[in-house]
Amino acid sequence: MGASRSASVALAALMAGCVGYAAQAEPRLDPAPSVVQSAAAPSASPEQGQGDTVATGAISAPVLPSPDLAKPGAAGGDVQAPASPLDTGKAETTNAEGSSAGAEVGSEAAGAVAAAPVPTDPMGAALAARLADPAPLLARLSTKDREAMQAFYGLGAFKPVWVVDGGFTPAAKAAASRLSLAAEDGLNVQAYPVPVIGTQGLTEAQTAEIELKLSAAIVLYAKDARGARINLSAISRLITPTLDVPGADAVLTRVASAGPQAGTVLQGYNPAQAGYLALKARLASLRNLHGAPMAVSPLTIPAGPVLKVGMHDPRVPALRRHFGLPTRTAGTLDAASGEPDAFDANVSAAVAKFQRGRGLPATGTLTPQTVTALGRAEASSRVGDEEATVLVNMERWRWLPGDLGRDYVLVNIPEFRLRVVRNGTQRDETRVIVGKAETPTPVFSGMMEYAVVNPSWNVPPSILKNEFLPALARDPNYAARRGYEVVYRNGNISVRQPPGERNALGFIKFLFPNNHAVYLHDTPNRSLFSASQRAMSHGCVRVDDPFRFADSVLPEAWSSERLKKLIGKGERTIRLPEKLPVHLAYFTLDADERGSLRSFSDLYGHDVRMKIALGLAPGSLLVAKAPVKAPAKVAVRPTAPAPSAAGLSSEIRRAASHPAPSGANPARAVRAPGARSAEAAPVDPWGPAPAPAPVSRGWW
């Protein structure tokens, strides 16, 4: 017995995965600015020829040479210049260290995979030719996705997966049904058009076109479901989650091998957390309330007679797929199952709902006017503000990992709230203070590794230059009165606040390494937690009752009582036995523990820019995106040798206007009168915010 096509593909993928990955090269993309952040796996270089392998995440496969695509500077026909901040192509990004996702392999490993032979059968040759043709399959399909698809089909000897014997396979029908229901998950149905198989026989070229366009739609759906449809840096440079975007070949392998469950597998790329599902239910409620049709993608079907309930017509199966209906009516004790081409009550009801959404008489019969409306893309309807807010927050769930972790910390910035989850159950929650509008708290996920008791604080360069140095220039004793140490080293000045009750970080801080250098910490200004609006810091998150929080995240041996006994005894680092995920999220509409939705203020204006990017509101991101002043990256450099304490004031005046080179390292401490001596620690590029209350004169 021969193996099924999907089983063959899955087996080939598994075998190829054992061989290794080929070297990665940058894909060719349209030079126009993009807003799609994708983390798909790497693909083959344009210069690779027959026998080269393509590293594409789930599988590694040989690709056929493409003379057109291999030309230096070729634009790649599947990438179009973006016309809006949505639905554009972009190369996959590298990780935080700047390294690419691919792995280098030696020539022996690279040669272990034999080159895929050029198919000799007409169908395989047609598929290979269409894959090599630069003509676009779908507007936002990148060159890297095309190459990954080429690898996928190369592993299967270029045999169709979705179209067999002139019709869709069960997997294709299930996947097409899910694509037609993309609006349920807040996605744009029109971005994933399902090709139609007419009543006439198909040539090999037509079969290849339908096959590959369905593959392209499936790939884009999966990538968008994982957050790839918006370039997050266009919203804010401080939104930097690590997106779990799958590779095109990995998607096709999984979906094709799922058979009738392909739709379920495809839908599974969407988030499954309770908060997302609550928003999804609210979206369905809003749309049902307004009678909005769920299936609005264009459907081209031949003209024919008016169809009423009880009639049969070859166009009905396409209608069923378009509206996400079962292939046929299920049988009962009194009646056999219906025929796929039967225009029954279910099809009529779906047609009537579509007619209402297009302003046609909701008769439920398939009229010529309805056929015309089905083939015409619906103009963007005006989305209500509540619906737009729901869609924006559904999109934010795609920024989080599919699995938040068994144990994790979640901070919802607009809510000013932190929650600790242990073994899947919320163990604790507390109030927090977050960044001001001009110094926002970033949005990303990290891993908490350790805590520091009695921390010192190094004044960040931005605060040092803009606030501290001008004050020192006016008053040389400014630092001494507040307990700060002025550090002068190798021609650079920095300022450090030693541990103590007045320290801006309080008695304890919790660190999770990240590019923004933000963390969770205590604060001496505890009275600020009583305010309802708590956007007061320079980006870090201040935690109310940090010792209770420590009980939730640190090992049991480090109880709050034991930690408090360390106060005043010098810095002490406590490492966690296991890294703890920390998610800094930004939900302006979120579900509570009972599933009820609550709304919060859009602190940083992210909602407005998100709605523009998603096409839910008019406007331009260039206008809506207010520039956020980047923190200074360096200390300041005096223009003369180290001054004495008495001469510090004039030296500071000159230093304030002469920034030092990036990476400058202080070397010798010059204490302000009355300040304690201590070594300077590395300068933190994100620092504490000015405290408005008179309780403390610190910045956090």
Q: Quick check: 83 pLDDT over 90?
A: no
Say which residue the tokens 């007061």 belong to: 536
Q: What is the pLDDT of residue 568?
A: 79
Q: For residues 700 and 696, what is the distance between their CA atoms, to the nearest angstrom?
A: 9
- On average, the pLDDT of the chain sits at 75
The alpha-helical segments, DSSP class H, found in 464-513 are 469-474, 478-481
Interhelix angle 248-256/170-180, nearest 10 degrees: 120
Residues of the chain with CATH 2.40.440.10: 388-655
Q: What is the pLDDT of residue 332?
A: 56
CATH topology of domain 311-374: Muramoyl-pentapeptide Carboxypeptidase; domain 1 (1.10.101)
Say which residue the tokens 């030696």 belong to: 106
Q: What is the pLDDT of residue 378?
A: 59
Q: What is the pLDDT of residue 625?
A: 55
Mean pLDDT of 285-301: 68
Query: Is residue 495 very low, low, confident or very high in pLDDT (cuts 50, 70, 90)?
Result: confident
Query: Is residue 43 very low, low, confident or very high in pLDDT (cuts 50, 70, 90)?
Result: very low
> What are the DSSP calls for 258-324, one per residue?
TGGGHHHHHHTTS--SHHHHHHHHHHHHHHHHHT--S--S-------PPB-TTEE-TTHHHHHHHTT
Work out the number of other CB atoms within 10 angstroms of the CB of residue 78.
25
Query: Is residue 344 very low, low, confident or very high in pLDDT (cuts 50, 70, 90)?
Result: very high
Q: What is the pLDDT of residue 506?
A: 80
Query: Is residue 265 very low, low, confident or very high in pLDDT (cuts 50, 70, 90)?
Result: very high
Model confidence pLDDT, tens digit, residues 542-579 = 999 999 999 999 998 999 889 988 887 888 999 999 99
Q: What is the pLDDT of residue 456?
A: 79
Q: What is the pLDDT of residue 203?
A: 94
Contact 187, 169 (CB under 8 A): no
Mean pLDDT of 463-475: 80
Query: Is residue 580 very low, low, confident or very high in pLDDT (cuts 50, 70, 90)?
Result: very high
Percent of the chain with pLDDT over 70: 68
Q: What is the pLDDT of residue 469?
A: 79
Percent of the chain with pLDDT over 90: 44
Residue 397: which of 302, 500, 275 has the closest Cα? Answer: 275
Model confidence pLDDT, tens digit, residues 619-673 = 777 655 544 444 443 333 443 444 444 444 444 444 444 443 333 333 333 333 3
Q: What is the pLDDT of residue 578?
A: 94
Q: For residues 607 and 533, what is the distance between their CA atoms, to the nearest angstrom?
A: 18
Q: Quick check: 434 pLDDT over 50?
A: yes
Q: What is the pLDDT of residue 445?
A: 96
Q: What is the pLDDT of residue 458?
A: 75
Residue 9: which of 257, 306, 323 has the closest Cα? Answer: 257
Q: For residues 691 and 188, what is the distance between their CA atoms, to the nearest angstrom?
A: 45
Q: Quick check: 250 pLDDT over 70?
A: yes
Greater confidence, 407 or 287?
407
Residues of the chain with CATH 1.10.101: 311-374
Most confident of 82-86, 443-447, 680-684, 687-691: 443-447
199 φ, ψ to 5°? -85, -15
Query: Is residue 523 very low, low, confident or very high in pLDDT (cuts 50, 70, 90)?
Result: confident
Residue 575 pairs with which residues in a beta bridge?
Answer: 450
Mean pLDDT of 472-497: 79
Q: What is the pLDDT of residue 85?
A: 46
Q: Quick check: 61 pLDDT over 80?
A: no
Q: What is the pLDDT of residue 90?
A: 41
Model confidence pLDDT, tens digit, residues 216-246 = 999 999 999 999 999 999 999 999 999 999 9
Contacts of 606 (CB under 8 A, 6+ apart): 235, 236, 239, 586, 588
Q: What is the pLDDT of residue 700?
A: 43
Confirm whether pTM is higher than 0.85. no
Q: What is the pLDDT of residue 331?
A: 59
Q: Work out the angle at residue 491's Cα, subtended by the Cα atoms of residues 490 and 497, and round it to the nearest 5 degrees.
A: 85
Q: Quick check: 428 pLDDT over 80?
A: yes
Model confidence pLDDT, tens digit, residues 31-41 = 333 333 333 33
Q: Quick check: 678 pLDDT over 90?
A: no
Mean pLDDT of 16-21: 38
Q: Quick check: 525 pLDDT over 80?
A: yes
Six token digits for residue 208 = 């290849």
Q: Quick check: 55 pLDDT over 90?
A: no
- Give the range among 164-173, 277-286, 545-554, 589-598 with minimum mean pLDDT: 589-598
Q: For residues 666 and 651, what is the distance between their CA atoms, to the nearest angstrom?
A: 16
Q: Quick check: 323 pLDDT over 50?
A: yes
Mean pLDDT of 64-69: 36
CATH of domain 388-655: 2.40.440.10
Q: Quick check: 20 pLDDT over 80?
A: no
Mean pLDDT of 519-537: 90
SS3 state of residue 252: helix
